[in-house]
């Protein structure tokens, strides 16, 4: 009797172990998706919306609320830069076009400008999506943008595409200079839009 029990117990334990591995690796949505690069979950943060044309202007916006059930496109730029303001306007157009198609998406600019007074320049973009004011944090004795550091977007203008589960899907250079995506350009905008459509 004992000999029969031992193989059965080993078989049962093996099945349980496989079930646990399957549950950990196989269940839920697959964050890697069509573009790969989706294993990093974007941490939550809160920031002041400094875009006077946005519905949440003057309020602290929680990223988890902004992103709830939606894909999100974040553009990192500077309010005082004419090029960044143009990209902000392009991002606003991109989001509006996708929403018109029925795609569940939102967007925001992260204003890297250290002085929030520069936010008034954003009025030129006349964009309706939020512009979230980054703040400064100290890392290894250097002042760096807090949200930028949190999301590893420290190398200038950058475009992050995040799925509805808050997983980072793409990180691309943006800003309309050579080798970067220009959101004012119809072809570049359509390329970025196709990445977002692929998330659904």
Instruction: Give the domain range for residue 25.
Output: 1-30
Q: What is the mean pLDDT of the chain?
A: 84
| Per-residue CA distances from 35 to 170, 195, 198 (Å) | 7, 8, 8
173: domain CATH number is 3.40.30.10
Please check whether residues 73 and 116 belong to one and the same domain: yes
Please check whether residues 180 and 132 belong to one and the same domain: yes
Give mean pLDDT, residues 21-42.
50
Please check whether residues 160 and 189 belong to one and the same domain: yes
Please check whether residues 115 and 99 belong to one and the same domain: yes
Please check whether residues 52 and 99 belong to one and the same domain: yes
DSSP for 109-164, please give it: EEE--SSGGGGGGGGGG---S-EEEP-EEEETTEEEEHHHHHTT--SSSEEEEE-T
What total of structural domains would you count in the chain? 2
Predicted model pTM: 0.79
Tell me the pLDDT tens digit for each residue of 90-122: 999 999 999 999 999 999 999 998 888 999 999
What radius of gyration do the chain's Cα atoms show?
A: 21
Please check whether residues 57 and 134 belong to one and the same domain: yes
Please check whether residues 68 and 130 belong to one and the same domain: yes
Residue 7, pLDDT > 70, answer no
Reported as type and span, the H/E element at residue 105 is strand 105-111
Closest CA to 189 of 37, 68, 35, 73: 73
Q: What is the largest CA-CA distance in the chain?
A: 83
Residue 200, pLDDT > 80, answer yes
Please check whether residues 61 and 17 belong to one and the same domain: no
Tell me the pLDDT tens digit for each residue of 131-164: 999 999 999 999 888 999 998 887 778 999 999 9
Please check whether residues 9 and 106 belong to one and the same domain: no
Please check whether residues 8 and 68 belong to one and the same domain: no
Please check whether residues 165 and 92 belong to one and the same domain: yes
Please check whether residues 70 and 5 belong to one and the same domain: no
Closest CA to 119 of 74, 88, 156, 97: 88
């Amino acid at each position: 009797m004992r000999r029969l029990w031992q193989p059965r117990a080993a078989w049962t334990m093996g099945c349980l172990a496989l079930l646990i591995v399957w549950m950990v690796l196989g269940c839920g949505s697959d964050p890697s998706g069509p573009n790969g690069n989706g294993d990093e979950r974007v941490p939550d943060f809160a920031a002041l919306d400094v875009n006077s044309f946005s519905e949440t202007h003057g309020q602290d916006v929680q990223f988890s609320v902004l992103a709830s059930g939606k894909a999100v496109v974040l553009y990192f730029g500077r309010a005082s830069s004419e090029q960044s303001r143009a990209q902000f306007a392009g991002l606003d157009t991109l989001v509006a076009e996708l929403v018109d198609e029925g795609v569940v998406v939102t967007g925001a600019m992260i204003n890297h400008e250290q002085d929030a007074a520069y936010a008034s320049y954003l009025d030129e973009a006349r964009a309706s999506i939020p512009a979230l004011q980054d703040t400064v944090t100290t890392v290894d004795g250097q002042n760096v943008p807090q949200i930028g550091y949190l999301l590893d977007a420290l190398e200038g203008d950058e475009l992050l595409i995040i799925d509805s589960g808050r997983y980072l899907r793409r990180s691309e250079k943006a800003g309309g200079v050579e080798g970067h995506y220009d959101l004012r350009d119809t072809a570049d905008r359509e390329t970025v839009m196709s990445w977002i459509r692929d998330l659904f």
